[in-house]
């Protein structure tokens, strides 16, 4: 079963259980998936679905931070609940040590050195680690590997 099919099944389950908060988040996710399919006239595979879930999670984290600064605990709590639902659709993430090891291996493969090669390394890293690691963490690891 593809990830998109799993999300659709979870929506049906949430409807039956009358879990309105979970249902709302899943519908939001499905709307984002459908929008991407319509805009680009493609059928999304699991990697593309994970990329969209990642994007939505990043938006939620940014919103939580903004709401906490504005002292809007009610809105921050709502975003945090959505964040929990969305994180269930991500594959297991790599640990910091695993990310660092992968980045070092890619830097060695490409023969990259210095900050000037950051773009080349990030392109290769994104292709290999997309959906498996937090890209903020990956970027920091690439900077550290190129600075060494």
Mean pLDDT of all residues belonging to the chain: 89
b/e sequence 60-81, b meaning 16+ C-beta within 10 Å: beebbeebeeeeeeeebebbbe
Q: pLDDT tens digit string along 60-79? A: 999 999 999 999 999 999 99
The domain locations on the chain are 3-87, 96-147
pTM summary value? 0.76
Closest by CA to 7, choosing from 27, 32, 21, is: 27
- CATH architecture of the domain with range 3-87: Orthogonal Bundle (1.10)
Strand runs labelled E in 1-148: none
User: What CATH number does the domain located at 96-147 have?
Assistant: 1.10.10.410
């Amino acid at each position: 079963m593809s990830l998109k099919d799993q999300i659709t099944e979870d929506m049906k389950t949430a409807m039956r259980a009358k879990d309105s908060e979970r249902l709302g988040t899943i519908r939001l996710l499905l709307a984002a998936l459908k929008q991407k399919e319509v805009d680009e006239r493609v059928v999304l595979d699991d990697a593309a679905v994970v990329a969209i879930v990642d994007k939505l999670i990043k938006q939620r984290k940014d919103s939580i931070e903004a709401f906490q600064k504005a002292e809007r605990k009610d809105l921050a709590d709502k975003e945090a609940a959505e964040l929990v639902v969305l994180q269930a659709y991500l594959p297991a993430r790599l640990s910091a040590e695993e990310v660092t090891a992968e980045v070092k291996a890619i830097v060695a493969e490409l023969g990259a050195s210095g900050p000037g090669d950051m773009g080349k390394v990030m392109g290769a890293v994104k292709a290999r680690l997309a959906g498996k690691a937090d890209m903020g963490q990956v970027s920091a690891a690439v900077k550290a590997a190129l600075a060494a």
